[in-house]
Structure 1
Amino acid sequence: MGKGMGETTFEALKEKALSLPLKPGVYLMMDREGTVIYVGKAKALKNRVSQYFHDQAGHTEKTRAMVAQIDHFDTIVAGSEFEALVLENSLIKRHKPRYNILLKDDKGYPYIRLSVRAPYPKFSIQGRMADDGARYFGPFGGRHDTQAILDALRAALKLPSCGKTFPRDQGKERPCLNFHMGQCDGYCRKEVPRSQHDQAIDQAIHLLEGKFSEVEKDLRTQMEAAAENLEFEKAAALRDRLRAITLLGKRQKVVAGFLADTDVLGLYVGTVRSVVAVLHFQGGELAGRDLEVFPTAGEPVEEILSAFLVQYYSPRGILPRQILLPENLEGAADLSRLLSHQAGRKVDLVTPQRGAKADLIRMAQENAKTECERLTTRAERTAKVLTLLAELLGLPEPPGRIEAYDISNTGASDIVAAMTVFEEGKPKKGAYRYFKLRDLTGPDDYASMEQVITRRFRHEIEGDGDFAHRPDLLLIDGGATHAAVASRVLAQYGLSIPVFGMVKDDRHRTRALVTPEGEEIGIQGAPALFAFIGQIQEETHRSAVGFHHKRHTKSGLGSTLEKIPGIGETRRKKLLKAFGSVKAIRQADLSALEEVLPRQAALSVYQYFRTNEEEGTCASSQGSPGAGG
């Protein structure tokens, strides 16, 4: 590996990446201090590394942040993709780069240690294996579960849990309470042969290796022999031990994987954090569950699963024969080879598409989702999205108040606009405002937007309380020109508020954000942010269309009333205020109408609707007109 050249410009890094060979290998990204911040592998170093220094619009949140920190990088050419995978794993363990997916070190996977060289071997719990001649079993899912397994093992086989050392302490004191309670065979007594302890230890080893059936068979044989020899007390003790071991074999909280013949992985990528659930199955029965939680930074699912497989299984002494995955992995063959080499036998990676195995994947996915949602509050999700939005748009801090605008029209008349408000990431409907556009010769979206933004901030400057709160960000439904119009109006008022357009694709769905200068900012690499901007755009569009429809409907209703002789604008408003709708006015009797209007005007309304109802009845009996009539 060559020493970093210290390139500090983006173009220099790009030029160096383009000079790399089209060979498999590993690359190490470093910051100005020379700290390794990311380690990755590649089929072809040139293609993979150069991608970081091309257009970054499609990069994930994590990748953008990482690239911004790169001062130089080094590469190591490998003989094959498999060698690159092994080397990548080794370098990640060594450097623990901040931008790689790293499982927590402090969670721990304890082992059960057996001091086989001692005359009376003893069990203990250790955080990691050591080259000390002892025998290790595991690792397990956590210290609590490991202690529970060891306690159950000692209880089932009546092994001592005290601190005495044998044979040194035999016969020095009377047996403790555990012996008198039947929880220990009392190996502190000189009359108990060492062979009995050796037999119990052998049975414990078999149980820790998952050979429950062999131990049960042996105990059952001993129990039946004792009964035939009329040693009923011994037979009863063996029966109790057999029951305890049978229960131990059925424990479902052994979160180890060393007993499992199949592991099922489920992944849920949340807004704030992601969770991988591992279900361990032995003989078709669930033997345990493990959960790994880590921060979400926009990594692809394939990258998460690949990193997880290597890091999760690398410390384990015994691996399952089969691992079911929710997604196909491009490097599955190399990963399988790496795990098989570690296990000393074949470890298959399978992505089931249907049937019982696919059902198990769904179960694991649901476990991952449930745990992620349990750990993540709504406030955390919102804060994460707003923080990401600020980083993406170069805002000094997450926007507390966002205002979004959209225009709706059906020609030259009834042009309206809606202003929606999102505070702390949530719609604040009481702050929505609507505009009826004036003095426009036709449906001009740009002129309409200019009028809306002008009126909105003029209201604020003039002290209108309905527009008193200044936004931290403006989002305009439309492209760069719409955003530029809004930006120009703000400049005229001396306001410096960030403005971006919300761009849609051919199917009228949110695609990206765009600056007033026309620079598109991709948001599809961050699903939570993509959904958030989509929600704002949809809510603003719905509000504008809804207001337009309401205006159009009211206009139609108003024109119906204004056809009545003696009913002008003032009386029309009185009627609609009193009755709520034209239908209610039509159904009202004369006395009800007289409570709102003078007698002659009320009579005119009453007679108008009765006359038109009769005409409508005659017309309907002759056949109704078509929709375009």
Structure 2
Amino acid sequence: MADPASYRPKTGEIPTTPGVYRFRDPNGRVIYVGKAKNLRSRLNSYFANPVQLTTKTYTMVHTASSVEWTVVGSELEALQLEYTWIKEYAPRFNIVFRDDKTYPYLAITMSDKYPRALVMRGDKQKGTKYFGPFYPARAIRETLDTVLRVFPIRSCTTGIFKRAERAGRPCLMGYIGKCSAPCVGRISEEDHRKLADDLVQFMASDGSKFIRELESQMAAAVKILDYESAARLRDEIAALRRVFERNAVVLDDNTDADIFAVAEDELEAAVQVFHVRHGRIRGQRGWVVEKVEDASPEEFIEHLLQQVYGEMYDADRIPREVLVPTLPANELDVAQWLRDLRGAAVSLRVPQRGEKAALMETVQENAVQALSLHKSRRSGDITVRSQGIQELQENLGLAEPPLRIECFDISHVSGTNVVASMVVVEDGLPKKSEYRKFKITGDAARDDTASMYDVISRRFQHYLEDLSGSDDLESGQINAAEAKQAPPKKFAYPPSLVVVDGGPPQVSAAVAALTDLGIMDMPVIGLAKRLEEVWIPDDPFPVIFPRASAGLYLLQRIRDEAHRFAISFHRQRRAKSMISSVLDDIPGLGPSKRQALMKHFGSVKKIRAASLEELKQVPGFGDKLAATVHERVHEAAPSVEAPVAAESAEQQE
């Protein structure tokens, strides 16, 4: 890795004007593109103290070997140039929403002698009417197939059309009734163009006018007993209704908007967008990207809008409204850039209430589901799991593959109700039957390192005891009959790798616990959540895994599962402590009557809200006991609020 000091430019050489900069690697490839309002201030931040940089930025500046910049006239120009260079170079340390396809549209070539209906991508052409975007492409192809039954204009290529003209025979579409076959003179040029005009009007409206006309024609056909024509018209009406049933009405007819939402974790982000045109959801699209650069939510949204709209030079493809979960960095410049692309005003905002905010929640739910599906597919892929185990062995220098990994996490709120969890993963899959919970009390609960020492000591003390039992069996001190009657020994199988949630202090505590037990050959690492750094004992620097590493993904999944398991146990403990704090000290209220009271009301909150008469209705409660309970629960009301208020603090843990 290069030393940033070797290519750091002199401060006086860097201008203080807006501009765009590029970092290059030793081979001359651009690995990062950024923009700045003040180039000198931004670039100096990369070199002032590289040790204090975040992991991703630290890796980038040590991978690069040179930096260069271009001065521009304004921040808006910097925004445009940054987008151009990101598209040109696809830098590895920039978030890039890779997609090799453009949006599919239903196009009608009105400038042709015989207008043609087709699915079209790419830049718009003059004299062609476009409807969409539709996504996925299957949706627009189904729509086209349906409308051609009612508006049978040509959909063939120029080559097929001319070949049919020469042969005097229509193509298959003409024979099955989905083309009026102007190539062989079955319909005049004027009538064919009228069909095309009707199709344009139908797609531009909600179709009610055409459906009403067809219903009138069907009624007239029934009146004269022309049931064959009536059946055909009935099928056409059903076909037109299906076109609009696919695109649910969600907003006012005059609403054209793109609605974005993002779901993310430390490594990846899922983006979803709903395209609403004339109040209907015309399409949905999504990406899952690696978070290869340190970008705030505002910067992430800015990069997203840059890349989604950067190539949409046609005004019709950019809607009047762009709704986002967070306003982008340089909001005014981004809005002006969109306005220049569209040639008209663009409303860039965060919906706060009403139908648009509700639809934003739906888009957000789709993003969450997309990220969850992406992760579940990765975790369920045996190839990815095997690759992750192999990467852990290689990057951590383990003597054997970590086929069994145990991860430990501590959970508490301000030092109260301290608990710990142990989760087990074998062959990359969770083994929930061997998860364990630990209650931590006394001096061990004073801080996280003491708690970690206590948990590791207790877990491996059990391991040594179980191992000793196995040795007794092998030496003949325990006979086979006794061994069969003995409970299964869950701790006798040692892990290949111990993972603790935290950095060097937690790792040192775990190693100290193992050393005090005489276990010297157990690999231990720590995974620090904020920067996803992997810490090894006695190493001043963390191990940095590649962003797309299957090994890092496996560690992250194990750590998150341990955290979830610890939080669940902590909440159970806190709930029990809240109940005991209110009911345990009431004279005359023993375990059976306390259970009867909870069964009758269901919660302490409902007990506190109950009247004296309602308390008397509990089986086994007389006037005196009911009065005592009523008095004590109301006296204790202020003290029981603390655990509830602690919820927000625990969620932030």
CA contact 1:280–1:288 (8 Å) conserved in 2: yes
Cα distance, 1:470 vs. partner? 5.0
**What CA distance in whole angstroms lies between the structure 2 residues aligned with 1:166 and 1:453?**
78
TM-score, normalised to structure 1's length? 0.62
Q: Match of 1:187, as an amino acid?
A: P
CA contact 1:404–1:476 (8 Å) conserved in 2: yes
**What CA distance in whole angstroms lies between the structure 1 residues aligned with 2:504 and 2:192?**
80
| Aligned ranges 1:91-170 → 2 under 5 Å | 91-112=85-106, 118-129=112-123, 135=128, 137=130, 140-162=134-156, 169-170=164-165
User: Who is 1:395 aligned against?
Assistant: 396
User: Who is 2:508 aligned against?
Assistant: 483
Cα distance, 1:146 vs. partner? 3.5
User: Who is 2:304 aligned against?
Assistant: 308
Is 1:198 aligned to 2:193, yes or no?
yes
CA contact 2:262–2:271 (8 Å) conserved in 1: yes
CA contact 1:503–1:514 (8 Å) conserved in 2: no
Identity %: 23
Task: Spell out, residue by residue over 1:188-234, the C-alpha distance to the aligned partner (whole angstroms, 9 max, x if none).
Answer: 343632122223334444556x35679859989x989x99xx9x99x
**Equivalent residues, number:** 515
| Aligned ranges 1:605-616 → 2 under 5 Å | none
CA contact 2:21–2:70 (8 Å) conserved in 1: yes
CA contact 1:111–1:139 (8 Å) conserved in 2: yes
**What CA distance in whole angstroms lies between the structure 2 residues aligned with 1:146 and 1:340?**
28
User: Who is 1:580 aligned against?
Assistant: none
Q: Match of 2:523, as an amino acid?
A: I
Cα distance, 1:381 vs. partner? 9.1
Cα distance, 1:9 vs. partner? 1.2
Q: Secondary structure at the match of 2:396?
A: coil
Q: Secondary structure at the match of 1:267?
A: strand
The 3 A distance-change label for structure 1 pair 272 and 251 is: farther
**What CA distance in whole angstroms lies between the structure 1 residues aligned with 2:21 and 2:564?**
42
Q: Secondary structure at the match of 1:308?
A: helix
User: Who is 1:274 aligned against?
Assistant: 269
Q: Secondary structure at the match of 1:74?
A: strand
Q: Match of 2:41, as an amino acid?
A: N
Q: Match of 1:11, as an amino acid?
A: A
TM-score, normalised to structure 2's length? 0.60
Cα distance, 1:458 vs. partner? 7.9
**Which structure dedicates a bigger proportion of its chain to helix?**
2
Pick which of 527-536 and 155-164 moved more. Answer: 527-536
**What CA distance in whole angstroms lies between the structure 2 residues aligned with 1:487 and 1:530?**
24
CA RMSD in angstroms comes to: 6.0
Q: Match of 1:284, as an amino acid?
A: G
**What CA distance in whole angstroms lies between the structure 2 residues aligned with 1:117 and 1:14?**
58
Is 1:369 aligned to 2:394, yes or no?
no
Q: Match of 1:401, as an amino acid?
A: I
Is 1:77 aligned to 2:71, yes or no?
yes
Cα distance, 1:337 vs. partner? 1.6
Q: Secondary structure at the match of 1:377?
A: helix
| Unmatched 5+ stretches in structure 1 | 1-6, 409-415, 505-509, 548-582, 585-629
CA contact 1:277–1:291 (8 Å) conserved in 2: yes
The 3 A distance-change label for structure 1 pair 98 and 468 is: same
Cα distance, 1:89 vs. partner? 0.9
**What CA distance in whole angstroms lies between the structure 1 residues aligned with 2:199 and 2:67?**
52
Q: Match of 1:380, as an amino acid?
A: S
Task: Spell out, residue by residue over 1:11-54, the C-alpha distance to the aligned partner (whole angstroms, 9 max, x if none).
Answer: 34556579633332212122221111222222222333344444
CA contact 1:171–1:190 (8 Å) conserved in 2: no
| Aligned ranges 1:285-324 → 2 under 5 Å | 285-297=280-292, 299-316=295-312, 317=314, 318-324=317-323
The higher radius of gyration belongs to 1
**What CA distance in whole angstroms lies between the structure 2 residues aligned with 1:485 and 1:166?**
77
Is 1:347 aligned to 2:346, yes or no?
yes
Select 2:523's aligned residue among 497, 504, 508: 497
**What CA distance in whole angstroms lies between the structure 2 residues aligned with 1:166 and 1:431?**
69
The 3 A distance-change label for structure 1 pair 193 and 446 is: closer
Cα distance, 1:364 vs. partner? 0.9
Cα distance, 1:321 vs. partner? 0.6
User: Who is 1:26 aligned against?
Assistant: 20
**What CA distance in whole angstroms lies between the structure 1 residues aligned with 2:170 and 2:527?**
82
User: Who is 1:359 aligned against?
Assistant: 358
| Aligned ranges 1:170-209 → 2 under 5 Å | 170=165, 173=168, 179=174, 182-190=177-185, 192-206=187-201
Q: Secondary structure at the match of 1:75?
A: strand
The 3 A distance-change label for structure 1 pair 200 and 428 is: closer
The 3 A distance-change label for structure 1 pair 254 and 10 is: farther
**What CA distance in whole angstroms lies between the structure 2 residues aligned with 1:66 and 1:453?**
40
Q: Match of 2:262, as an amino acid?
A: L
**What CA distance in whole angstroms lies between the structure 2 residues aligned with 1:435 and 1:254?**
52
Pick which of 485-494 and 39-48 moved more. Answer: 485-494
Is 1:88 aligned to 2:82, yes or no?
yes
CA contact 1:403–1:473 (8 Å) conserved in 2: yes
Q: Secondary structure at the match of 1:376?
A: helix
Select 1:265's aligned residue among 260, 264, 268: 260
Cα distance, 1:85 vs. partner? 0.7
**What CA distance in whole angstroms lies between the structure 2 residues aligned with 1:503 and 1:183?**
59
The 3 A distance-change label for structure 1 pair 196 and 50 is: same
User: Who is 2:494 aligned against?
Assistant: 469
